Structure 1
């Protein structure tokens, strides 16, 4: 939601440390999120192999679309709950540690972010479905080739 001029009263909010913030809601923008299913929960529950391949492709497409916009996700870590499925497409749920970085314009920067962002998925596949690692790697390689030839 965009900044507006409709709220008459200010709101006081206290954080867990007791610090009080006096907020003018007219000067704050809001991001609304729709509820979605957790990516890995859906992936683990499905027995349809074609759908699993589709989910891997969708995950890669999500990461690619973010990365080509020069946005780094610095909250990759080990959390498997940061991604979901909305309208049957992979989406990021937690964008709290995203930031813009022009280094992603370079093939090396793009590749580094794509590899970092798919590390958890790769580890999951290595531990649970190692036969899908080649599928993941082949698709990553396609994205790298497309990036280097500037075909999106």
Structure 2
């Protein structure tokens, strides 16, 4: 009987230990938003062919200031510069990996095959994200607010940047050793328009919305298709000039994209127009009129 009690105690303590470890991991992950240096480092086998590209206004001195954690997206961790002008995006390479990859050789064939298929799918998703930014680099550079594109390791910059994560821990990153994108920081479309409407800056709003529709039309004319054209989360204004800062889902067509039709522009701007119908109907009418003129 005593032996059984001892075994039960050991099992209970083991359970408590595992539960505490899980709670600690969950807490740390929530506090840091999952960011770690290991997650932004690509594996030695990872390769993406794309030469670095920089805007005329880019200066390496930008990286002499610290960057602070801003948030995470589907494929990147984002940090904003101390002066609030720039966003540094570091790719989440861990999303292209699987925790069981290291023991794949020891798994039964059906499990190994399934694991390899999962890893391949994750790697394709990561490469597709890189392709999207490469397309933006070649065909939509200024319109996406790009300042520096670094999709392959090299030794061009020879710069180290200081990052502060979500809980204020400092990280020093050799920029030549990671893949990243530097962009102008944009203010999101909806909050910015809400501010302008509250300030009764209707003329400024109309001009910005006209340029936003023109941006969408330009993207289509250049044969770029976006699988995720969400104006609320993927677009913003730099001062009052619109940009699309999330280009990870860009696809390139060899011909003019038929989605540049009036119907497609209406679809992309429909939610915005509905929001403007409630906030400022004249601006909603302006967008609809501009869409018709752009077609």
What is the TM-score normalised by the length of structure 2? 0.38
| Residue 98 of structure 1: how far off its partner (Å) | 1.4
Matched residue, 2:292:
141
Structure 1, residues 125-151: CA drift from partner, whole Å, max 9, x if none?
12322233322122111111xxxxxxx
Question: Quick check: 2:224–2:257 contact (8 Å CA) kept in 1?
Answer: no
Structure with bigger gyration radius: 2
Matched residue, 1:2:
51
What secondary structure does 1:32 align onto?
A: strand
Structure 1, residues 49-78: CA drift from partner, whole Å, max 9, x if none?
11111121121111111111111121125x
Within-5 A mapping of 1:59-74: 59-74=212-227
Matched residue, 1:25:
153
1:95 and 1:29 mapped to 2: Cα distance?
A: 15
| Residue 89 of structure 1: how far off its partner (Å) | 0.7
Question: Quick check: 1:2–1:29 contact (8 Å CA) kept in 2?
Answer: no
Output the aligned Cα RMSD.
3.0
Query: When the two structures are aligned, how many residues end up with a matched partner?
Result: 130
Question: Quick check: 1:67–1:114 contact (8 Å CA) kept in 2?
Answer: no
| Residue 105 of structure 1: how far off its partner (Å) | 4.3
What secondary structure does 2:289 align onto?
A: helix
2:100 and 2:247 mapped to 1: Cα distance?
A: 24
The partner residue of 2:253 within 97, 101, 105 is: 101
Matched residue, 1:114:
265
> What stretches of structure 1 of length at least 5 have no aligned partner?
4-12, 145-152
Provide closer, same or farther for how the CA distance between residues 82 and 56 of structure 1 changes in structure 2, counting only shifts above 3 A. same
Matched residue, 1:84:
236
Provide closer, same or farther for how the CA distance between residues 127 and 18 of structure 1 changes in structure 2, counting only shifts above 3 A. farther
2:94 and 2:235 mapped to 1: Cα distance?
A: 29
Matched residue, 1:150:
none
Matched residue, 1:57:
210
> What stretches of structure 2 of length at least 5 have no aligned partner?
1-49, 53-92, 102-122, 124-151, 155-177
Question: Quick check: 2:266–2:288 contact (8 Å CA) kept in 1?
Answer: no
Question: Quick check: 1:40–1:81 contact (8 Å CA) kept in 2?
Answer: no
What is the TM-score normalised by the length of structure 1? 0.68
Provide closer, same or farther for how the CA distance between residues 142 and 93 of structure 1 changes in structure 2, counting only shifts above 3 A. same
What secondary structure does 2:225 align onto?
A: strand
Structure 1, residues 80-109: CA drift from partner, whole Å, max 9, x if none?
121111252100011111112356444xx3
